[in-house]
Amino acid sequence: MADTPDLLPHEQPAPPRTDLWIAAVFFVFGAAAAWLAFLMPTYADQKGQIYTAPGLVPGFYGIVILLLSIWLAVRAVRQGALRPRGEATTAGQPAGTSDLRLALAAGLGLVFVVGLIGRVPFWLAAAMFVAMFTILFEWRAGEPWAPRARRIGEAVLLGLVTGAAVTLVFEKVFYVRLP
């Protein structure tokens, strides 16, 4: 075993080409933040001091982000970000991960927040979201109808229990308003 423990997932370095793209995004972001801060009023006409000008601090942060992005870009290039494809992109997707599952989870979350909340009572929105989430993620192609029906029944029950429990506990016990 090495002297230093294994790196955590967030400590594994990203490929240089990815870092170059990140640097480009933050360069644009930092420049935009600094430019918008520069356009902010200084209130000098109201005898305001320059040190309290609204754009001073966010403008400073924008410039720092811009400079750090240049540092990141230079480092990425020195590490081979501009070499032909294949050499600079070494990190692959970890085994067992699925972008389809990710997109489905994100999409369902968006439907819940944008499509359901505010249109139906919260308990019903929560029940529909939980049931739909569970049904879709537990869906197995070619599964016989009996176990599938049982799974769907369990998912609907879980949704209803969640909707009811969240509503009762938070509204009646914690006195929290629900969306």
Partner 1 sequence: MFDSLGQLGGAFLGFMTPHTLFNVIWATFLGIVIGALPGLTATMGVALLTTLTFTMPHNEAIMVLICIYVGAIYGGSRSAILLNIPGTPASAASTLDGYPLARQGLAGRAMGISTSGSWLGTLFGILCLALLTPVLSELALTFQSFEFFWISVFGVVVAGTLAGGDPLKGYIAGFLGLWIATIGQEPYYNYQRYAFGYTDLAGGIGLLPALVGAYGVAEVLQAMRGPVVKAVSSKLDSVVPRIEDVLKYWRTIFRSGAIGVWIGILPGLGEDAAAWSSYAAARRASKEKEKFGKGSIEGLMAAETGEAASVPGAIIPVLTLALPGSAPAAVLMAAMMIHGLNPGPNLMVESPQFFYQIIAMLVIADMSKLLFGFVLIRPLIKVLLVPRERLMPVVFVLCVVGSFAITSRVFDIYVMLVFGLIGFVMRELKFNMAPLILGLVLGDLLEKNLTRGLVLSDGSLLPFFTRPVCAVLSAMTILSVLWSIPAVNRSVRAAFTRRRP
Q: Which is nearer to partner 1, 10 or 142 (CB)?
A: 10
- 117 interacts with partner 1 by CB under 8 A: yes
Q: List C-alpha distances in Å: 44 to 37, 51, 55, 104.
A: 15, 11, 13, 52
> What does each C-alpha distance from 81 to 14, 72, 77, 132 come to in angstroms?
11, 11, 5, 43
- Give the x/- contact pattern for partner 1 in 63-102, rule: CB under 8 A: -xx--xx-xx--x------------------xxxxxx-xx
Residue whose pair of structure tokens reads 């230093």 in the numeric block: 4
Of the residues 28, 43, 83, 164, which one makes contact with partner 1 according to CB under 8 A: 43
CB of 56 to partner 1, least distance (A): 7
Residue 140 or 142: which CB sits closer to partner 1?
Answer: 140
Q: Which of 31, 56, 124, 160 binds partner 1 (CB under 8 A)?
A: 56
Measured distance CA(127)–CA(158) in Å, rounded: 8
Distance CA 149, CA 114 (A): 29
Q: How many CA atoms lie within 13 A of 63 on its CB side?
A: 8
In whole angstroms, the minimum distance from the beta carbon of 8 to partner 1 comes to 6
**What is the nearest approach in angstroms of partner 1 to the Cβ of residue 82?**
19
Q: Does the footprint of partner 1 cover residue 105 (CB under 8 A)? A: yes
Binding flag, residue 119, partner 1 (CB under 8 A): no
Is the four-CA dihedral 162, 163, 165, 169 of positive or negative sign? positive
CB of 82 or CB of 91, closer to partner 1: 91
